[in-house]
Amino acid sequence: MGKSTLFNALTLLDVPMAPYPFTTVEPNRGVAAVRAPCPHTERGVPCTPGNAKCVDGTRWVPVNLVDVPGLVPGAHEGKGLGHKFLDDLRAADGFIQVVDLSGATDPEGRLAPPGSQDPAEEVQWLEEELVDWVSEILGRDFERSARSVELEGKKVEEFLQHRLTGLSVGPNALAAALRASPVDRAHPSHWTAAERRALARALLRASKPRLIAANKCDRADAARLEALAGKVGDLPVVPTAADAELTLRRAARAGLVEYRPGGPTFSVRDPARLSAAQASALDALAAVMSHWGGTGVQSSLERLVYDRLHQIVIYPVEDETRWTDTRGRVLPDALLVPADTPARTVAYRVHTDLGEHFIRAIDGRTHRAIGAEQALPPNSVVRIVARK
């Protein structure tokens, strides 16, 4: 519980929120941001941000976020808003699963007495639900197609890639999943249902990184967090107080407090302006933040993007010496790309023409050339040279 609250906090948009399931009927799309150190601080020249604002040397780089409601057990069979969930997930690079650390949300998303529910169960059934879903995609008419692939002498990668179209599983993720699975690559038609399921699990792991937001941490303690972390294997668990983050961002926007999302604390601008109720609500927030070291909301997104998705920030420029675009704007854009993205693919992201006519990239710090297939260093300022 807390998906919409987390989404609203991260995007600071308003969508309906309520303590019962399916309040959110359409998935809500919004733009959140992750922080990155702005290279302008290395030069002492202020930047001219276009897409990603810069606050005191920190760039806020946009990330698309979708609030997907209504996942209940049985989703792959179409229960709840299951298919909608899975369709949205299909297109996502990764996701944050929000669970109720206080144990007050039942598997159907309804309120329950605090401590009566185990959030680890929600993590486990989502995993099984997702594995069922990928297994089904993988398994449709599997044996027959597998046999014809074997007869034609096609590679198993090609066969699987074709089956998994639409799931946005990249070639690296597919290779990693195959390595991690106990399957005979030469004979997919011999794979048992259990082997296909193991492959589905590995595919999920490799292609849809997940992070657990242990929400409502304001109503829980370190022991509950440890218990959860101990039951979810290697999935990272970040304690969050989504409600607190939303309140703070709104209070900051209203000019009541000074707060940088992701910061460990906040300060009240003018205590005399607060009502008694506001003052005590903010005191309670301050106590939660000092206990957990912040609300955890901003860091949950950043850990997903940086640690799980291995994204890096790139600053494309047209003049690699002055770090400007053609209009003289300094470091106008900041882009997130997976760390291993080849320079030419980054060029396509900047502009199709730059990708098509790519010659080389030039590192704005070292002034060295970077070839089409080479990856760019994190936080690089880069000029893309293309044929006119």
**Binding of ligand GDP by 59 (CB under 6 A):** no
The size of the interface with Mg ion (CB under 5 A), counted in residues, is 4
Site for ligand GDP in 190-249 (CB under 6 A): 215-216, 218-219, 241-243
Beta carbon nearer to ligand GDP, 117 or 181? 117
2 binds, among Mg ion, ligand GDP, none (CB under 5 to 8 A by kind): ligand GDP
Judged by CB under 5 A, the chain residues 53 through 72 that form the site for Mg ion are 69
H-assigned helices in the chain: 3-11, 82-91, 119-139, 142-152, 156-163, 171-180, 193-207, 222-231, 242-253, 276-292, 297-302, 343-350, 352-356
Helix or strand holding residue 280 (H, E): helix 276-292
Among the listed residues 268, 272, 312, 264, the one whose alpha carbon sits nearest the alpha carbon of residue 290: 264
Residues in the interface with ligand GDP (CB under 6 A) total 21
Interface with ligand GDP (CB under 6 A), residue from 5, 97, 247, 311 = 5
Among 1, 4, 40, 305, binds Mg ion (CB under 5 A): 4
Which tokens in the block code for residue 183?
């399957």
For ligand GDP, the binding residues in 19-38 under the rule CB under 6 A are 19, 21, 23-24
How do strand 210-215 and strand 28-37 relate by DSSP bridges? unpaired
Distance CA 92, CA 90 (A): 6
* Cβ 249 to ligand GDP shortest distance, Å: 13
Q: Which does 18 bind (CB under 5 to 8 A by kind): Mg ion, ligand GDP, none?
A: ligand GDP
Shortest CB 71 distance to ligand GDP, Å:
10
The span from the CA of 342 to the CA of 374, in Å, is 5
- Quote the Cα angle for 328-332-333, to 5°: 150
11 binds ligand GDP (CB under 6 A): no
Q: Give the nearer residue to ligand GDP in terms of CB position, either 67 or 127.
A: 67
Question: What CA–CA distances, in Å, run from 207 to 93, 136, 309?
Answer: 7, 16, 9
The secondary structure of 282-334 as a DSSP string is HHHHHHHHHHHTS-SHHHHHHIIIIIIS-EEEEEEESBTTTTB-TT--BS---
241 binds, among ligand GDP, Mg ion, none (CB under 5 to 8 A by kind): ligand GDP
Question: Whose CA is closest to 208, among 99, 302, 126?
Answer: 126
Cβ 225 vs Cβ 239: under 8 Å: yes
Nearest to 70, CA basis, from 39, 26, 32, 10: 26
Q: How far apart are CA 185 and CA 183, in angstroms?
A: 6
In the set 1, 2, 9, 24, which binds Mg ion (CB under 5 A)?
A: 24
- State in angstroms the smallest separation of the CB of 291 from ligand GDP: 13
- Applying CB under 5 A, which part among 22-30, 114-122, 171-179, 295-303 lies near Mg ion? 22-30
Report, in Å, the least distance between residue 121 CB and ligand GDP: 16
> Would you give the binding string for ligand GDP spanning residues 141-180, x where CB under 6 A is met?
----------------------------------------
Strand partners, 199: none
Q: Which stretch binds Mg ion (CB under 5 A): 24-32, 212-220, 293-301, 304-312?
A: 24-32
Coil vs helix vs strand at 192: coil
Comparing CB distances to ligand GDP, the nearer of 27 and 378 is 27
Distance (Å, whole) CA 42 – CA 137: 49
**Which residues form the interface with Mg ion (CB under 5 A)?**
3-4, 24, 69
- Interface with ligand GDP by CB under 6 A: which residues? 1-5, 17-19, 21, 23-24, 69, 98, 109, 215-216, 218-219, 241-243
